[in-house]
Amino acid sequence: MTNDSDRRIVRLAILPAFAALPLLAAGPQVAPAPAPAQTPPPGYRIDEDRVQPAPAQQQVPDISPTRTLPPPGQAGQPLALQPQGAAPTAPLDTRQAIKFEPGVLELGEMIADTAKTGSITVVNILDKPIKITRIIPGCGCTTTGAPPGEIAPGGKASVDITLKPGSKPGVPISKTVTFQIEGHAPQLLTVKGDVKAYVLMTPDIIDGPATPDSAPGTIKLKSADGVPFKVTGMVPDVAVAMPSEAKLEHDVQIDWKKWEAAGSSVKLAVMTDNPKAPQLTAIVKRALRPGDVPTKAPVQSSAPAIVLAARSGDVAGLKAAIASGAGVDLEDPMSRRTALHFAADSGNMEAIALLIEAKANANAKDRTGKTPVTIAAERGRAEALRALLKAGGDPSVRDQVQGSPLLWAAGLGTPETVQVLLDAGSDPNIADVNGMTPLMWAAGVGKPENVSLLLAKGADTKAVDKITGENAFMRALRSGKGDTVRILIGKSPDMSARNLMGMTPFLIACAYSDPEKIKMVMDAGADKAAKDNRGWGAIDHARNRVDSRRDEVVKMLEPIVPASTVAPPPATPAAAAEPSK
């Protein structure tokens, strides 16, 4: 994190849940004009970041920000929708207004289901001030907002971007972030990461049992890099027996009676001691059993009017929907989010006030178990969060992965939202299904200020997660900021602590950190001769890196750490196996 007062910081989080999208061309790209951010024209509705024709209306061209629009009258002039009868707007300045440094954010090698943060600088390349009005991440993304105020000619603003891959390894990821600029055409930034497969799982979709007495299901795990590994656990704990030895291949059998008793979870997480494949996820395809009948009517194909109005920020439409008496807690058929969820997501206080006055449920859960309180916390909407808590929202509600508002705020929210939740009595040591605490999330992907707030409330620095056996300090060395590492070193962390692979903080730093963080750990008294369970030392982990800092770290360490005593680390696997059918 920079201390330069002329540089402003905004955090952005990208949380894709699906496979990677096609790669985009490198460098800044100029997109056509965006759809209006608020009320759509008559006959339109807003679906996420895209304006779509409303049902039963005449079809119109797609006006997604990432597609080219037909020119209206003047060739090459971007089209901007405006309300019917409104005065014509001034044409957009089609010049490129900003550039990104770097032009493409390459996050390098990533671990499945584990977030990683990078930073880009936005530079105003025009001779007049510009204002970024909105930053729109791609599918499954969230952002706390654009840099405040204007950026002067030649001025800069820093943007932190966090990308969390899905649970499937062996998948390159490419996401697009759209920067909307007042009076100018939007520009696109490409964010890339590579989730390599170090342990292969087959099948990754397993048929559920016809009855609880069905024969055990089997998941096969195989090393892709030639390194033996242990299976260290399963969530939920439904294995017939857990293998105890490190091997190149394992068969893990599923006890279906245990599975049913644990709630028949759709997801099964298998943990290993391979630091680059700490968790693999299998999906259970539930079987239809005799006597099963539908318990709900088929869902409607389009969202209720009150949901569409809240999603688009149409306050007049929201008032009309409330006045119609159709119900304030009607759900979007796909996400099962209510109007209050969408108002909390955008931080639209006028919409939130209207819905609360109409007795909307602040504790309604969407398809993933998140409430409006959780959404506001995750999105950094402090004012909305206060209003929802005052309206009876639960600050400690749990979602399907046992996440809480504080857990989401610590990793993706703002210091203000973290403080609001702590003041409301949220437990600073609450843990999710993987044993991750707010401090671990803040240390790994959140703001350093979030770390300080949690520590001030008694967050446990020694707690470890169930996946890697790592504490918050180790998480900070993997993917956190230098300021976060500095704050945690001030709490005198145990430099001899080890994760499930036997890696100390110093070894983790050599495997993942930049030279600045490695030096901080050495200055704090780290044992430079430490080795992990496989006998790997600092230089082995440094040489096994595949990111852009590898050579720099190796050159730094070679004169000051013991020479390697093991065979050269295996090459990075080039690709994952074909997905199971």
Q: What is the CATH number of the domain that holds 204?
A: 2.60.40
pLDDT at 226 over 60: yes
CATH code, domain carrying 151: 2.60.40.10
pLDDT score, position 126 = 93
pLDDT at 426 over 70: yes
Task: Indicate whether 124 belongs to any domain.
Answer: yes
pLDDT at 359 over 60: yes
pLDDT at 234 over 90: no
Q: Which residue has the higher pLDDT, 570 or 370?
A: 370
Q: Which residue has the higher pLDDT, 567 or 479?
A: 479
**Helix 339-346 / helix 382-390 crossing angle, nearest 10 deg:** 140
Give yes or no: residues 313 and 434 share one domain.
yes
pLDDT score, position 9 = 46
Give yes or no: residues 20 and 127 share one domain.
yes
Residue with tokens 């939740």: 421
What domain range is 209 assigned to?
A: 199-285
Measure CA 20 to chain center. Answer: 14
pTM: 0.64
Cβ atoms 351, 343 nearer than 8 A: yes
Domain boundary among 463, 488, 513: 488
Among 58-62, 215-219, 334-338, 386-390, whose mean pLDDT is lowest? 58-62
pLDDT at 382 over 90: yes
Give yes or no: residues 189 and 158 share one domain.
yes
Residue with tokens 């020694």: 462
In DSSP notation, 299-359 reads: PPSS--HHHHHHHHT-HHHHHHHHHTTS-TT-B-TTT--BHHHHHHHHT-HHHHHHHHHTT
> What does the pLDDT look like over 518-537, one tens digit per residue?
999 999 999 999 999 889 99
pLDDT score, position 48 = 40
pLDDT band at 427 (very low <50, low <70, confident <90, very high): very high
Tally of domains in the chain: 4
Task: Indicate whether 394 belongs to any domain.
Answer: yes
Give yes or no: residues 438 and 460 share one domain.
yes
Give yes or no: residues 393 and 506 share one domain.
no
What is the overall mean pLDDT for the chain? Answer: 81
Task: Indicate whether 57 belongs to any domain.
Answer: no
Token code pair at residue 444: 């790994």
Among 230-239, 378-387, 402-411, whose mean pLDDT is lowest? 230-239
Give yes or no: residues 464 and 523 share one domain.
no
Token code pair at residue 24: 């985009």
Among 130-144, 173-187, 373-387, whose mean pLDDT is lowest? 130-144
CATH code, domain carrying 529: 1.25.40.20
Domain boundary among 195, 218, 234: 195
Q: Which residue has the higher pLDDT, 546 or 47?
A: 546
Task: Indicate whether 44 belongs to any domain.
Answer: no
Give yes or no: residues 191 and 205 share one domain.
no
Give yes or no: residues 220 and 141 share one domain.
no
Give yes or no: residues 377 and 394 share one domain.
yes
User: Which CA distances in Å does 310 have to 30, 320, 332, 423, 439?
Assistant: 29, 11, 11, 28, 33
> What does the pLDDT look like over 537-579, one tens digit per residue?
999 999 988 788 899 999 999 999 999 888 664 554 544 444 3
**Mean pLDDT value across residues 221-240:** 87
**Mean pLDDT value across residues 14-38:** 39
Read off the DSSP letter of residue 71: P
Task: Indicate whether 186 belongs to any domain.
Answer: yes
Task: Indicate whether 510 belongs to any domain.
Answer: yes
Task: Indicate whether 271 belongs to any domain.
Answer: yes
Give yes or no: residues 214 and 266 share one domain.
yes
Beta bridge partners of 195: 110, 171
Neighbours of 87 (CB within 10 A): 6
Give yes or no: residues 164 and 110 share one domain.
yes
pLDDT band at 345 (very low <50, low <70, confident <90, very high): very high
Task: Indicate whether 50 belongs to any domain.
Answer: no
Give yes or no: residues 218 and 175 share one domain.
no
pLDDT score, position 94 = 80
What burial letters (b/e) apply to 242-263, b meaning 16+ CB within 10 Å? bbeebeeebebebbbebbeeee
pLDDT score, position 20 = 34
Domain boundary among 461, 488, 515: 488
pLDDT band at 442 (very low <50, low <70, confident <90, very high): very high
